[in-house]
Amino acid sequence: MKNSGKRSIPPTVMVIFGASGDLTARKLVPALFNLSLDHLLPENFFLIGYGRKHVSDDDFRSGLKKSLSAYSRRPVNKDIWDKLEPGVSFHTGAYDDPSSFEELKLKIEKIEEMVGGPIQCMFYLSTPPSGFLPILENLGNSGLARLHKNTPSASKVIIEKPFGRDLNSARELNQMINRRFSESQVFRIDHYLGKETVQSLLVQRFANSIFEPVWNRNYVSSVQITVSEDLGVGSRAGYYDRSGAMRDMIQNHVMQLLALTTMEPPSSLDPEAIRDEKVKALQAIKPLKLNDPHAEVVRGVYTEGLVGGEKAIGYQNENGVSSTSYTETYAGLCLQLDNWRWKGVPFYIRSGKRLARKVSEIVVQFTRPPAILFGHDSRQPLSPNLLTIRIQPNEGVGLSLNSKTPGLETKLQPVNLSFGYETTFGSNTPEAYERLILDALAGDGTLFIRGDEAENSWGLLTPVLDYWQSMGNHGLEEYAAGSWGPLAADKLLLQRGHEWITNK
- Decide if 253 is catalytic: yes
With contact defined as beta carbons under 8 Å apart, do 63 and 106 qualify? no
| Closest to 250 measured CA to CA, from 189, 326, 329, 324 | 329
Distance CA 76, CA 326 (A): 46
| CA atoms within a 13 Å half-sphere pointing along the CA-CB vector of 375 | 11
User: Residue 311, CB half-sphere, CA atoms under 13 Å: how many?
Assistant: 3
The catalytically annotated residue of 39, 54, 148, 253 is: 253
Is residue 34 within 8 A of residue 4, CB to CB? The reply is no
Q: Where are the beta strands (DSSP E) in 293-438?
A: 297-303, 305-307, 310-312, 330-336, 346-352, 359-366, 386-392, 396-404, 412-420
* CA–CA dist 187, 71 (Å, integer): 24
Of 170, 160, 128, give the one whose Cα is nearest residue 461. 170
**Residues sharing a CB contact under 8 Å with residue 396, sequence separation 6 or more, in sequence order:** 197, 390, 418, 419, 420, 421, 422, 424
For residues 312 and 234, the answer to whether their CB atoms sit within 8 Å is no
Which residue type is seen at 27? K
Which helix or strand (DSSP H or E) is residue 223 part of?
Answer: strand 220-228
User: What positions carry a catalytic annotation?
Assistant: 253
